[in-house]
């Protein structure tokens, strides 16, 4: 599990020539950090106006962000696991016709899983970005730079996940699925600008 | 040391209401991951055209990125240490005039250190972004999404560091220093767009 390793170990793993972990896990990590910073700002003893309205808005944001952060953190490992399956599928034997068919099917299954993980990261990053507006409006003004950093990281995570969806989607032969994903990607990426 | 903790522990620390770690360390982490991904792409057995020119360009990029990545990783801990000093300086006694003067001086010293760390992160992120162009041009085409994720993370790290420089610079009374930093920040942020 990447998330159980130390930060230095994880950085070394990203820098190694091994195919995983790669950009997909890095994008999920960026968004996890962004969501975590928003939870921190919402948890500060002081709020924008120290009003009940502030506290209610921040409590709602925290409830949503806690779920999103957990999903994004799980995606750090899930993206690497899914891409390892893609690499494994491409290495299947392809001498006989039966082997060729089994390999092609395994590649399609693996590519779909490796698309679904960054697509989830896009969705959860977009939802976390929605809460960033509320956290910025109701959170302690002194923490506004933390909200700004969180927003930059969530946008980078969303964009990084988009690049990974696009990279895997190119190999998927199910046109209905590919078209549905493309449409959703466009909506999610457009909403984050 | 934050970098010696597990990824899950670090995320929990970002999410806690404690003043550190905050956005400054998060920005340094984002850029460290970005630099690591570029080192990975440059280390792949395949290059864009498998030419000597590719390998020479990627070797030069790796030499530069290895230094930048180490500095950015050290900044994850350095930013938290510097901001802890700011918090400690503000807590110094301020009853007598002598105490007031000592506290004010300690705050200025601490704010300057807490500005220099994210300013370094801006510089190193900008330098890593410069190498991203070479890694993208000479690295294996199949890894272009990793170069894209790295670029997004380095831009987010640079922008996050800029927000932290700005937050600390506001409290600094040395106008010559503040003016020099503002000028450099503008150049660095403008170059990354």
From A4, A27, A40, residue closest to B15, measured CB to CB: A40
**Taking CB atoms and an 8 Å limit, are B15 and A37 in contact across chains?**
yes
pLDDT for position B128: 98
CB contact (8 A) between residue B167 and residue A152: no
Q: What is the pLDDT of residues B119-151, one digit of tens each?
A: 999 999 999 999 999 999 999 999 999 999 999
Closest to B43 (Cα-Cα) out of B21, B28, B58: B58
Position A54 confidence tier, pLDDT thresholds 50, 70, 90: very high
Q: Is A75 on the interface with B (CB under 8 A)?
A: no
Q: B8: which chain A residues are within 8 Å (Cβ-Cβ)?
A: 3-4, 73
The per-residue pLDDT for range A15-44, each reduced to its tens digit, is 999 989 999 999 999 999 999 999 999 999
The reported pLDDT for the residue numbered A173 is: 97
CB contact under 8 A, A156 and B37: no
Whole-number pLDDT of residue A191: 75
- Chain A residues touching B26 at Cβ < 8 A: 33-34, 37, 149-150, 153
Q: Quote the percentage of chain A above a pLDDT of 90.
A: 97
Size of interface A-B (CB pairs under 8 A): 174
DSSP string, chain B: -GGGSBHHHHHHHHHSSSS-S-HHHHHHHHHHHHHHHHHHHHHSS-BSS--HHHHHHHHHHHHHHHHHHHHHHHHHHHHHHHHHHHHHHHTS--SSHHHHHHHHHHHHHHHHHHHHHHHHHHHHHHHHHHHHHHHHHHB-GGGHHHHHHHHHHHHHHHHHHHHHHHHHHTT---HHHHHHHHHHHHHHHHHT-
Q: In angstroms, rounded to a whole number, what is the distance separating the alpha carbons of residues A107 and B76?
A: 39
Q: Which residues of A touch B163 (CB under 8 A)?
A: 145, 148-149, 152
| B8 in contact with chain A, both atoms CB, cutoff 8 A | yes
pLDDT band at A157 (very low <50, low <70, confident <90, very high): very high
Contact B43 A16 (CB under 8 A): yes
With 70 as the cut, is the pLDDT of residue A192 above it? no
Contacts of B167 in chain A (CB under 8 A): 144-145
pLDDT for the residue A193: 63
The model's confidence at residue A49, banded by pLDDT at 50, 70 and 90, is very high
pTM: 0.97
Which of residues 119 through 158 in chain A touch B, CB cutoff 8 A? Answer: 143-146, 148-150, 152-153, 155-156
B95 touches chain A (CB under 8 A): no
Which tokens sit at A162? 């988009």
How far CA B19 is from CA of A19, A31, A102, A174, B103, in Å, comes to 37, 20, 54, 49, 20
Point out the residue among B16, B34, B164 whose CB comes nearest to the CB of A40. B16
C-alpha A119: how far from its chain's center? 7
Q: How far apart are CA A107 and CA B144, in angstroms?
A: 20
Do the chains contact at A153 and B30, CB–CB below 8 Å? Answer: yes
In whole angstroms, what separates CA B116 from the centre of its chain? 10
For all residues of chain A together, what is the average pLDDT? 97
Q: Indicate the residue of A7, A32, A160 with minimum beta-carbon distance to B5.
A: A7
Instruction: Provide the chain B residues 55-74 that lie in CB contact (below 8 A) with chain A.
Output: 69, 73
Find the residue in B nearest to A43 (Cα). B17
> How far B175 CA lies from chain A's nearest CA (Å)?
22
Higher pLDDT: A118 or B193? It is A118
Exposed / middle / buried, residue B145 (Cβ in 10 Å: 0-12, 13-18, 19+): buried
Q: Taking CB atoms and an 8 Å limit, are A149 and B167 in contact across chains?
A: no
Query: Phi then psi for A16, rounded to 5 degrees?
Result: -75, 160
Rounded Cα distance between A55 and A32, Å, is 23
């Amino acid at each position: 599990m990447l998330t159980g390793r130390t930060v230095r170990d994880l950085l070394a793993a990203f820098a190694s020539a091994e195919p995983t972990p790669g950009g997909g896990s890095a994008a999920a990590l960026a968004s996890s950090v962004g969501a975590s910073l928003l939870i921190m700002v919402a948890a500060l003893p002081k709020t924008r106006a120290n009003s009940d309205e502030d506290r209610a808005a921040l409590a709602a944001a925290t409830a949503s962000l806690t779920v999103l952060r957990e999903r994004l953190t799980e995606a750090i490992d899930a993206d690497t696991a899914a891409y390892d399956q893609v690499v494994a599928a491409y290495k299947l034997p392809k001498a006989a016709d039966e082997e060729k068919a089994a390999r092609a099917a395994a590649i399609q299954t693996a590519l779909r899983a490796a698309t679904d993980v960054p697509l989830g990261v896009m969705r959860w990053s977009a939802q976390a970005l929605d809460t960033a507006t509320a956290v910025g409006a109701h959170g302690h003004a002194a923490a506004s730079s933390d909200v700004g950093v969180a927003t930059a990281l969530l946008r980078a995570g969303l964009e990084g996940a988009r690049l990974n969806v696009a990279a895997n989607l190119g190999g998927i032969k199910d046109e209905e699925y590919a078209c549905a994903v493309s449409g959703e990607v466009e909506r999610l990426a457009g909403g984050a600008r």
